[in-house]
């Protein structure tokens, strides 16, 4: 009951805004309090337990380098539980129909992907109404892609996994001998589902306002954005990816670095020409040759793509994390199927030794993954890994100090710290309330 009536607490004092609600769920109360905490850190009025107080803070240097790891699903982008779902069929068919020249996306093999996925799905909650799984082989679309890709990389009958899926397919849908074709079709469908929400989207709409604010007010030219999304959301916000041509990364002088570490739906590659941006913004959705698609979908082939085609971008991303003055995770949760990325990213953060000039004594790390119970679990897992690598690098956790100083210089034993902020907010919440100085705030 206390959580439900959180919004009924009165706010007193000069300059305070009273927010009042009759009843709030615990989730909404937690989200409301998280928003208030972020606002309070900037020096705005903060809502307390019956009074308001203004926090006076010294000027903060905002000219540092921030590394933003972005992997959010926003503005209608699909969550993991909706990938390859029955609801996605009509959405993709409407936006990318055969009549609009997406034959590969609507072909015979593509139409087999979802039934094949559903037949082995272990989570009944993700199954379409009236469907029953035949066996329990994967828990979600990520695991399905991982298993299918690993089997398709070596489809030889001597490979136990390939033989297992081939037998499964022959018993539940007549898919024998089609593992490579099914993988290609599945990758195209995933790309289509991840990009469908942006096709003909009204980017001037109100829902886009927090993201335009992030682009214009929060991103600095010395920052680096590391994104794991295939869709053109950042391009729509005029944050253009750093180009790679053959093996040479080409940055644009004075611009924010945008690194699409898992590729993009409009990228193409061949062994002879390397990688380039296709004139077709939806190249991956209808590419005749699956090997020309540059998407790091889960599975064995993703590591090969990262190690070869996308290596220059990963080198830049790791360098950015090693040099960052602040790190922000927005929607990226170190997926369980992404072991290679997890190892490399955490390794780069571990190698971050701080400001060599000693002007910055604390490495702030922000985690923004949403406010649900599941999101909180992912945030806690991410925070635990980050604490481990930072502590292993001889950094001290701010929370471990005997008392957290709020003013004055830190003594010599309190330098080279890290501080983790867990914000139970959606990306749009965070971008609505945060200021650039909050990202670099050390205390």
- The last residue of a domain, from among 158, 178, 198: 198
Same domain membership, residue 256 and residue 145: no
Decide if 269 is inside a domain: no
Q: Which of 33-37, 322-326, 399-403 has the highest mean pLDDT?
A: 322-326
- Give the side-chain half-sphere CA count within 13 A for 7: 16
What does the alpha-carbon distance between residue 159 and residue 152 come to, in Å, rounded to a whole number?
A: 10
Q: Which parts of 348-401 are beta strand (E)?
A: 362-368, 396-397
- 41 compared with 3, residue with greater pLDDT: 41
For residue 323, the model assigns a pLDDT of 92
List of residues 6+ apart from 437 with CB closer than 8 A: 42, 60, 62
- 402 compared with 269, residue with greater pLDDT: 269
Give the single-character DSSP code of 124. G
Decide if 273 is inside a domain: no
Do 136 and 103 contact (CB within 8 A), yes or no? no
> Is the pLDDT confidence value at 247 over 80?
no
Decide if 138 is inside a domain: yes
Q: Say what the pTM is.
A: 0.81
- 186 compared with 400, residue with greater pLDDT: 186
For residue 349, the model assigns a pLDDT of 96
3-class DSSP assignment, residue 293: strand
- 99 compared with 4, residue with greater pLDDT: 99
Instruction: Return the closest-CA partner of residue 443 out of 383, 401, 394.
Output: 401
pLDDT digits (tens, 9 = 90+) for 407-439: 544 554 556 899 999 999 999 999 999 999 999
Decide if 277 is inside a domain: no
> Is the pLDDT confidence value at 388 over 90?
yes
Same domain membership, residue 212 and residue 194: no
For residue 252, the model assigns a pLDDT of 46
Same domain membership, residue 24 and residue 117: no
What does the alpha-carbon distance between residue 35 and residue 44 come to, in Å, rounded to a whole number?
A: 12
pLDDT digits (tens, 9 = 90+) for 280-310: 888 998 888 888 899 988 888 887 787 788 8
Decide if 131 is inside a domain: yes
What does the alpha-carbon distance between residue 41 and residue 48 come to, in Å, rounded to a whole number?
A: 13
What does the alpha-carbon distance between residue 428 and residue 201 come to, in Å, rounded to a whole number?
A: 17
For residue 185, the model assigns a pLDDT of 92
Same domain membership, residue 397 and residue 333: yes
Do 45 and 12 contact (CB within 8 A), yes or no? no
Q: Which of 73-77, 265-269, 320-324 has the highest mean pLDDT?
A: 320-324
Decide if 211 is inside a domain: yes
Instruction: Return the closest-CA partner of residue 367 out of 336, 403, 326.
Output: 326
Q: What are phi and psi of 367, to 5 degrees?
A: -120, 120
What does the alpha-carbon distance between residue 19 and residue 32 come to, in Å, rounded to a whole number?
A: 10
143-152, 347-356, 396-405, range with the lowest pLDDT: 396-405
Same domain membership, residue 389 and residue 255: yes
Same domain membership, residue 426 and residue 319: yes
What does the alpha-carbon distance between residue 417 and residue 394 come to, in Å, rounded to a whole number?
A: 9
Q: Which of 36-40, 56-60, 429-433 has the highest mean pLDDT?
A: 429-433
Average pLDDT over residues 149-156: 90
Do 360 and 414 contact (CB within 8 A), yes or no? no
pLDDT digits (tens, 9 = 90+) for 174-223: 777 789 999 999 999 998 988 888 887 778 888 899 999 999 999 988 89
Query: How many domains would you assign to the chain?
Result: 3
Do 117 and 142 contact (CB within 8 A), yes or no? no
pLDDT averaged over every residue in the chain: 79
Q: Which of 11-15, 178-182, 326-330, 367-371 has the highest mean pLDDT?
A: 326-330
For residue 31, the model assigns a pLDDT of 61
For residue 242, the model assigns a pLDDT of 77
Same domain membership, residue 315 and residue 336: yes
- The last residue of a domain, from among 154, 181, 198: 198
Decide if 291 is inside a domain: no
For residue 404, the model assigns a pLDDT of 54
Same domain membership, residue 119 and residue 35: no
Same domain membership, residue 425 and residue 345: yes
Structural domain that includes position 193 = 80-198
Decide if 59 is inside a domain: no
Same domain membership, residue 229 and residue 340: yes
- The last residue of a domain, from among 198, 215, 244: 198
For residue 170, the model assigns a pLDDT of 85
CB atoms inside a 10 Å sphere around CB 376: 16
CB atoms inside a 10 Å sphere around CB 8: 11
Same domain membership, residue 178 and residue 142: yes
Same domain membership, residue 306 and residue 253: yes
205-209, 241-245, 281-285, 366-370, range with the lowest pLDDT: 241-245
- 393 compared with 7, residue with greater pLDDT: 393
Do 104 and 287 contact (CB within 8 A), yes or no? yes
> Is the pLDDT confidence value at 12 over 60?
no
> Is the pLDDT confidence value at 4 over 60?
no
Q: Which parts of 343-443 are beta strand (E)?
A: 362-368, 396-397, 417-423
């Amino acid at each position: 009951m206390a959580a439900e009536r959180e919004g009924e607490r009165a706010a007193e004092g000069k300059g305070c805004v009273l927010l009042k609600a009759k009843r709030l769920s615990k989730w909404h109360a937690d989200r409301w309090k998280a928003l208030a905490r972020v606002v309070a850190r900037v020096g705005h009025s903060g809502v307390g337990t019956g009074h308001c107080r203004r926090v006076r803070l010294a000027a903060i240097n905002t000219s540092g380098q921030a590394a933003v790891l972005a992997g959010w699903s926003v503005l209608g982008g699909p969550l993991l539980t909706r990938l390859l779902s029955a609801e996605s069929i009509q959405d993709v068919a409407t936006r990318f129909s055969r009549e609009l020249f997406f034959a590969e996306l609507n072909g015979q093999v593509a139409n087999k992907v979802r039934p094949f996925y559903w037949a082995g799905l272990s989570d009944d909650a993700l199954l379409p109404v009236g469907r029953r799984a035949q066996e329990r082989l994967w828990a979600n679309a990520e695991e399905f892609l991982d298993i299918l890709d690993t089997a398709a990389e070596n489809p030889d009958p001597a490979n136990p996994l390939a033989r297992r899926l081939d037998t499964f397919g022959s018993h539940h849908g007549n898919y024998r001998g089609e593992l490579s074709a099914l993988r290609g079709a599945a990758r195209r469908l995933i790309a289509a589902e991840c990009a469908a929400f942006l096709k003909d989207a009204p980017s001037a709409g109100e829902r886009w306002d927090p993201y335009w604010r992030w682009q214009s007010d929060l991103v600095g030219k010395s920052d680096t954005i590391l994104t794991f999304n295939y869709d053109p959301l950042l391009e729509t916000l005029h944050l253009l990816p750093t180009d790679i041509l053959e093996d040479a990364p080409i940055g644009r002088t004075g611009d924010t670095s945008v690194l699409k570490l898992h590729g993009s739906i409009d990228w193409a590659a061949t062994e002879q020409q390397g990688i380039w941006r296709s004139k077709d913004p939806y190249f991956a959705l209808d590419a005749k040759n699956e090997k020309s698609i540059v998407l790091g979908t889960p599975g064995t082939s993703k590591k090969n793509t990262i190690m070869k085609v996308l290596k220059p971008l990963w080198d830049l991303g790791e360098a950015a994390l090693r040099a960052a003055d602040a790190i922000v995770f927005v929607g990226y949760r170190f997926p369980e199927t992404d072991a290679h990325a997890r190892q490399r990213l955490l390794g780069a953060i571990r190698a971050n030794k701080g400001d060599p000039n000693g002007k910055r004594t604390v490495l702030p790390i922000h985690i923004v993954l949403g406010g649900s119970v599941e999101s909180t679990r992912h945030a806690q897992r991410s925070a635990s890994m980050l604490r481990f690598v930072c502590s292993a690098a001889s950094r001290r956790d701010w929370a471990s100090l005997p008392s957290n100083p709020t003013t004055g210089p830190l003594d010599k034993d309190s330098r080279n710290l890290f501080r983790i902020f867990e914000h139970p907010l959606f990306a749009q919440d965070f971008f609505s309330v945060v200021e650039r100085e909050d990202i670099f705030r050390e205390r």
